[in-house]
Amino acid sequence: MNEAERYHEIDLPFYRDEIAPLLPPRVLDFHVHIWRREHWREKPWETDADGGKYMVVQEEYPPEALDADLGRMFPDRPCEAVCFGFPSPAVDLARTNADTARLGATPGRYPLLIAGKGVQSPEELRRQVREGGFFGYKVLLNWYGDDYGDIAVSDMLGPAEMALAEELGLLVLLHVPRAGRLADPVVQAGVRDYARRYPGARFVLAHCGRCYLPDEMREAVGAVADLENVYLDTAMVMDPTVLQIALEAVGPQRVVYATDLPIAAMRGRRVYVMDHWMDVVLPGYPPSGPYRVAAPAVGGHDIRATFMVYEIILALHRAAERVGLSAGEREGLFYHNGAALLAGVRGLG
Which residues are at the interface with Zn ion (CB under 5 A)?
260
First to last CA, the chain: 48
> What's the rounded Cα separation, in Å, for the pair 114 and 84?
7
- Which CB atom, from 182 or from 325, has the smaller least distance to Zn ion? 182
What minimum distance in Å lies between the beta carbon of 114 and Zn ion? 11
> What phi, psi does 169 have (nearest 5°)?
65, 35
Beta-bridge partner residues of 32: 83, 261
- Cα of 219 vs its chain's centroid, Å: 21
- Which CB atom, from 22 or from 70, has the smaller least distance to Zn ion? 70
- Which CB atom, from 233 or from 329, has the smaller least distance to Zn ion? 233
What minimum distance in Å lies between the beta carbon of 196 and Zn ion? 26
What minimum distance in Å lies between the beta carbon of 283 and Zn ion? 24
Catalogue the E-assigned strands of 283-346: 292-294
- Which CB atom, from 161 or from 260, has the smaller least distance to Zn ion? 260
- Which CB atom, from 243 or from 263, has the smaller least distance to Zn ion? 263
Cβ partners under 8 Å of residue 39, min gap 6: 60, 85, 86, 91, 92, 95, 96, 99
Q: Could you tell me the sign of the dihedral formed by the alpha carbons of 128, 172, 336, 206, in that order?
A: positive
Cβ-closest residue to Zn ion?
A: 260
> What's the rounded Cα separation, in Å, for the pair 198 and 202?
8
> What's the rounded Cα separation, in Å, for the pair 200 and 341?
12
What minimum distance in Å lies between the beta carbon of 45 and Zn ion? 16
What minimum distance in Å lies between the beta carbon of 101 and Zn ion? 18
Cα distances from 9 to residues 262, 281, 283, 306, 309, in angstroms, run: 22, 18, 18, 11, 17
- Which CB atom, from 33 or from 330, has the smaller least distance to Zn ion? 33
Which of 347, 173, 156, 344 lies closest to 256 in space, CA to CA? Answer: 173
- Which CB atom, from 213 or from 264, has the smaller least distance to Zn ion? 264
What minimum distance in Å lies between the beta carbon of 211 and Zn ion? 15
What minimum distance in Å lies between the beta carbon of 260 and Zn ion? 4
What minimum distance in Å lies between the beta carbon of 197 and Zn ion? 25
- Which CB atom, from 11 or from 260, has the smaller least distance to Zn ion? 260
Alpha helix positions (H), 56-137: 63-73, 93-103, 122-132
The three-point CA angle 72-231-139 to 5° equals 80
